[in-house]
A and B are shown apart, each in its own frame.
Chain A
Amino acid sequence: MSAFAANLIDLKDWIYLIAAICFIVGIKMLTSPETAAKGNYISAFAMLLAVGITIISGQISDFTWIAAGIAAGALVGIVASRLVKMTAMPQMVALYNGLGGAASALVASSEYLRKLDELTPFLSTVILLSLFVGSLTFTGSVVAFAKLQELVSGKPVVFPLQHLINLTLIVGTLAIGVFLVAVEPVNIPWFIAVSGIAMVLGVLVVIPIGGADMPVVIALLNSYSGIAVSLTGFVLSNNALIIVGSLVGASGIFLTNEMCVAMNRSIWNVLFGGFGQGAATGAAAVQDPTGAVKPYTIGDAVNVLEASQRVILVPGYGMAASQAQHAVRDLGDNLEEMGIDVKYAIHPVAGRMPGHMNVLLAESNVPYDLLKDMDEINPEFRQTDVAIVIGANDVVNPAANEDPSSPIYGMPILNVEEAKTVMVLKRSMNPGFAGIDNALFLRDNTMMLFGDAKSTLNKLVEGVKGK
């Protein structure tokens, strides 16, 4: 090895250290929307450093496949990042989690084949763990993607002996793992089996989870992809990977926990509960003897809005589903022009991933200082004339506060029912994804405006314009 190459290898570890620092600083700058974009550049710069120094540090004899791979990946990445709709961000993140898992599993496999002669128990263990977590993350994410993209039904898929089958597979993998580490390290069929079982498990653990719980699943798979990266770091004895993997893992676990708290459920309940299977009981709300659903006209709604001073807009998944974020902003603007104070209330689990609603409203140019978190906005509903609920359901269901028998009892909600008038824009009386009836629709101060959210919003805008 030339002296130059040796110096580069020495330099490499320093560059990795600088890169790791930049990654941390980059994420730290995400703590404010003013510095976030710059933080992203710093992080990208760190990536360039880390990958760049690896490529030129002399361990590589043939650049053909690297160049081809980077070109193909970059092309897909560029096109996808331009074309993806903001409403489809959950699917995209799900897919990226999966690719992260796949990359780790592939690197682990390649390292295994490269180092068949030098497998220590430690190296075998981390390679197998990296392979297992990576493979599971890959297929689990593909299933999550398919559910979010509605390629398969978003309803939970449950079947008998589900948990027993999963447990058997886990114990089986563990046994194979012990065998490969302690008895016969070089055994390619069993090595492939570990990956295969992990892929089956990835599918089995995600299919029983319903559409409304996807924010939790995406966050959890995000953390798995981070754990896989850390494990790859142990495989390669590379601290930069261990650090980055920990950051991603910590982020995923933090978000998973946030989502669970916002739904008042434990992670175990989300993963094994089969929540939302009862999504076929929509008729019950209409038959509720305590009230009758009153459909109102656009004219009624416009009259109420004209007389109001403070309005809060409450978006939910329905806004994303009907691409209504621009119409929401349009209504907000027109109300502001009438001298009305307008704010936007965002529930942590509104939409299909953490922060989904914020991105959609930012896309339609709503200034971010008008976007209010649940804890910040909840005390304000009492002094609000109109709360307009756009395609949100479970996150505004008063049963969470009032009905101990409700499955969502105890979940923190946006207290829209405290506003003088609640307008609910809704396609039909079907219950939300949790499959629970919503007594809000029957309240005396609730005005139901049935129809597609976007067209209702546009009609409201027409109505209030020029008043």
Chain B
Amino acid sequence: MLSVFLVGLYVLVLSIFVGFEIISKVPPMLHTPLMSGTNAISGITLVGAVVAAGFSQDLLTTILGFFAVVCGSINVVGGYLVTDRMLRMFKKK
């Protein structure tokens, strides 16, 4: 277990550094699409949610999983679409 945890910790620390490095270069002009875009990708929890909703061990876990799927899907679909809508508004002279 510890080794899985350690690998996860490596991944965590390194990707935080990558995250800061990239995101500090996003211009302030695009900070709103950045936020809605990160909303969309945080819908990756769907990966856990679909397993919870589809494993059907008992009704309660399935229901919890179902609501997680709903929340995650709203984030993914709504997040990407609204980000796209915004980004297409940015035009050069």
Taking a contact as CB atoms under 8 Å apart, the answer to whether B52 and A73 are in contact is no
B residues less than 8 Å from A356 (CB atoms): 32
Q: How long is the Cα–Cα vector from A218 to B32 in the complex, in angstroms?
A: 11
Cross-chain contact A24 with B12 (CB below 8 angstroms): no
Q: Which residues of A contact B80 (CB under 8 A)?
A: 40, 43-44, 47
Minimum CB–CB distance for B40 against chain A, Å: 7
Contact of B73 among A33, A65, A77 (CB under 8 A): A77
Q: Specify which of B18, B28, B36, B67 is in contact with A93 (CB 8 Å cutoff).
A: B36
- Cβ < 8 Å to B, chain A residues 92-127: 92-93, 96-97, 99-100, 102-104, 106-107, 109-111, 113-114, 120, 122-123
When distances are taken between beta carbons in the complex, the residues of chain B under 8 Å from A86 are: 86
Q: Which of A93, A218, A359 has the most CB of B within 10 A?
A: A359
Give the segment of A163-171, A246-254, A283-291, A439-447 that binds chain B: A246-254
Given the complex of chains A and B, what is the CA–CA distance between A44 and B37 in angstroms? 9
Report B-chain residues with C-beta under 8 Å of the C-beta of A41.
84
Q: What's the nearest-Cβ distance from chain B to residue A109, in Å?
A: 5
Name the A residues within 8 Å of B77 (CB-CB). 73-74, 76-78, 81
On chain A, the number of residues with a Cβ less than 8 Å from chain B's Cβ atoms is 111
Complex Cα distance, B33 from A358, in Å, reads 10
Known: A354-B31, A367-B93. A103 touches B72 (CB 8 A): yes
Cβ distance B61 to chain A, nearest Cβ, rounded Å: 5
A122 to nearest B CB, angstroms?
Answer: 5
User: Chain B residues near A428 (CB, 8 Å)?
Assistant: none
CB <8 Å contact, A251 and B35: yes
Does A240 interact with chain B (Cβ within 8 Å)?
yes
Asked, given contacts A27-B22, A114-B61, A254-B24, whether A66 binds B54 with beta carbons under 8 Å apart, the answer is yes
A307 close to B (CB within 8 Å): no
* Nearest CB in chain A to that of B19: its residue: A250
A334 adjacent to chain B (CB < 8 Å): no
Q: Which of A51-59, A149-157, A405-413, A414-422 lies on the face that meets chain B?
A: A51-59
In the assembled complex, the Cα of A122 lies from the Cα of B1 at a distance in Å of: 8
Q: CB distance A239 to B11 under 8 Å?
A: yes
B55-86 CB contact bits vs A (8 Å, 1 = yes)?
11110111011111111111111111111111
Within 8 A of B (CB), among A424-441: none
> A23 in the interface, Cβ–Cβ < 8 Å?
yes
Q: Is A346 interfacial (CB 8 A cutoff)?
A: yes
Which residues in A have their C-beta under 8 angstroms from that of B31?
Answer: 255, 258, 353-355, 358
Q: Is the pair A43, B40 in contact by a Cβ cutoff of 8 Å?
A: yes
Whether the pair B1, A111 counts as a contact (CB closer than 8 A) is no
Q: State the Cβ distance, B44 to closest chain A Cβ, in Å.
A: 5
Number of interface residues of B (CB under 8 A): 83
Report if A232 contacts B (CB, 8 A): yes
Q: Is A2 interfacial (CB-CB < 8 Å)?
A: no
A70 contacts B by Cβ under 8 Å: yes
Residue among A47, A219, A235, A244 with most chain B CB within 10 A: A47
Nearest-Cβ distance from residue B2 to partner chain A, whole angstroms: 8
A221-229, A379-387, A389-397, A457-465: which lies at the interface? A221-229
Do A248 and B86 touch across chains, with their CB atoms under 8 A apart? no
- Could you say which of B23, B25, B50, B79 contacts A77, with CB atoms under 8 Å apart? B79
Q: How far is the CB of A242 from chain B (nearest CB, A)?
A: 5
B75 touches A65 (CB 8 A): no
Could you tell me if A81 and B82 are in contact, using CB atoms closer than 8 angstroms? yes
User: In the bound complex, do residue A107 and residue B68 qualify as a contact, i.e. CB atoms below 8 Å apart?
Assistant: yes
Give Cα distance in the complex from A238 to B91, angstroms. Answer: 38
Contact between chains at A47 and B40 (CB < 8 Å): yes
Task: Give the Cβ gap from A305 to chain B, nearest Cβ, in Å.
Answer: 21
Taking the closest CB of chain B, its distance from the CB of A92, in whole angstroms, is 7
Closest 5 A/B residue pairs (Cβ) = A73-B73, A250-B19, A69-B69, A77-B77, A77-B78
Known: A31-B30, A103-B72, A249-B16. 19 other contacts (CB 8 A): A27-B23, A30-B37, A33-B29, A33-B87, A43-B40, A47-B44, A51-B76, A55-B54, A61-B55, A65-B56, A69-B73, A72-B70, A96-B78, A97-B39, A110-B52, A222-B39, A229-B42, A353-B31, A359-B32
